């Protein structure tokens, strides 16, 4: 596989000129954090039990908790980041921000986030804390340096905000919330393993047993293809359970099908360019899917009637 995409990315990150705000935006991986908060907020809106104050509290709480979680991860992985060309210039391995300072900020963010989440309901606070626990203690501390399967608890941890958006609306666990959780969890390998393939040499150098390092490219591409199929299937089921209009369901299935075709094509001939395309499409798809869920929830269809189920 060519290194064209990798070289382009390295050039963009080669010379950071940090300010404090910019460094902390990098530490919380602000794009990733925004996407996770988005899945929860849009899931809340799609539940159609809307309250502006609750939505604002949810966005604040989730942003704080996800940000704190990510900084904890960055602190623990500072030695790994220092060995990888893609990450060695991040604020902690570069020495711009100390580990003690970062831990202090992360603890404050997590604590404040849980306090705010508790104002919504205890279940939402518990769900968001579970996301922190899975990502920091299970994925980061326990499994990432030991097994390729670390992506599983890492993915579930990253999907907890999606479930929390539903619990913020309903105050309970239900099938819709579980499907939101599974939808994002199933999507994670599509998002994460594509970039892991592109940077497999970095992971190998750092001694991290990511899937492409341990199993090779082709088995990893198979997992990505399965992820695309699973994401499409769970997304369609979620749309049906939410009773979104069939027109919106079709609008969801069209890009899902395109991503599946692209990932299957990548099985035949994996390339770094196609992996990069899948990586970029994965994030766009997640943004798009939640727009469809929200818009479609305002135009409901009784699928049991359409299918002749009494």
What sign does the CA torsion over 296, 192, 95, 146 have? positive
Residues 169 and 183 placed together within one structural domain of the fold: no
Residues 182 and 309 placed together within one structural domain of the fold: yes
- Choose among 42, 60, 162: nearest CA to 119: 60
Backbone angles phi, psi at 92, to 5 degrees: -80, -55
Residues 252 and 190 placed together within one structural domain of the fold: yes
User: What secondary structure does DSSP assign to 12-81, as a single string?
Assistant: HTSS----HHHHHHHHTTHHHHHHHHHHHHHHHHHTT---HHHHHHHHHHHHHHHHHHHHHHHHHTHHHH
Backbone angles phi, psi at 199, to 5 degrees: -110, 30
Per the structure, the count of domains in the chain is: 2
pTM, two decimals, is 0.91
Residues 289 and 228 placed together within one structural domain of the fold: yes
The tokens of 295 are what? 């818009």
What domain range includes position 127? 19-173
pLDDT at 307: 55
| pLDDT tens track, the chain, 310 positions | 445 444 444 444 444 667 989 999 999 999 999 999 999 999 999 998 889 999 999 999 999 999 999 999 999 999 999 999 888 999 999 999 999 999 999 999 999 999 999 999 999 999 999 999 999 999 999 999 999 999 999 999 999 999 999 999 999 999 999 999 999 999 999 999 998 998 999 999 999 999 999 999 999 999 999 999 999 999 999 999 999 999 999 999 999 999 999 999 999 888 888 899 999 999 999 999 999 999 998 888 887 765 554 4
Residues 222 and 277 placed together within one structural domain of the fold: yes
Residues 136 and 215 placed together within one structural domain of the fold: no
- Choose among 219, 284, 289, 198: nearest CA to 3: 198
- Which of 153, 173, 193 is the last residue before a domain boundary? 173
pLDDT at 142: 96
Q: Can you give the CATH number for the domain in which 73 is found?
A: 1.10.357.140
Residues 24 and 169 placed together within one structural domain of the fold: yes
């Amino acid at each position: 596989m060519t290194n064209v995409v990798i070289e382009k990315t390295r050039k963009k990150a080669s010379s950071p000129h940090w300010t404090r705000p910019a460094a902390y935006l990098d530490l919380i991986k602000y794009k990733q954090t925004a996407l996770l908060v988005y899945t929860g907020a849009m899931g809340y809106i799609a539940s159609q039990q809307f309250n502006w104050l609750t939505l604002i509290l949810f966005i604040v709480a989730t942003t704080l908790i996800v940000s704190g979680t990510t900084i904890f991860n960055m602190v623990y992985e500072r030695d790994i980041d220092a060995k990888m060309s893609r990450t060695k210039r991040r604020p902690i391995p570069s020495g711009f921000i100390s580990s003690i300072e970062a831990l202090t900020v992360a603890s404050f963010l997590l604590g404040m986030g849980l306090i705010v989440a508790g104002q919504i309901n205890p279940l939402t606070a518990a769900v968001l804390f579970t996301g922190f626990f899975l990502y920091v203690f299970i994925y980061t501390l326990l499994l990432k340096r030991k097994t390729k399967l670390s992506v599983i608890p890492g993915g579930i941890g990253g999907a907890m905000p999606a479930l929390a958006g539903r619990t913020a609306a309903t105050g309970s666990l239900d099938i819709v919330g579980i499907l939101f959780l599974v939808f994002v969890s199933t999507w994670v390998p599509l998002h994460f393993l594509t970039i892991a393939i592109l940077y497999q040499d970095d992971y190998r150098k750092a001694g991290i047993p990511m899937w492409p390092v341990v199993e090779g490219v082709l088995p990893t591409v198979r997992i990505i293809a399965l992820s695309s199929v699973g994401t499409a299937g769970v997304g369609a089921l979620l749309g049906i359970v939410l009773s979104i209009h069939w027109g919106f369901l079709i609008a969801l299935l069209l890009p899902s099908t395109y991503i599946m075709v692209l990932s299957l094509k990548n099985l035949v001939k994996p390339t770094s360019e196609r992996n990069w395309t899948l990586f970029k499409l994965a994030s766009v798809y997640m943004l798009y899917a939640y727009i469809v869920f929200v818009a479609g929830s305002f135009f409901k269809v009784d699928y049991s009637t359409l299918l002749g189920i009494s």
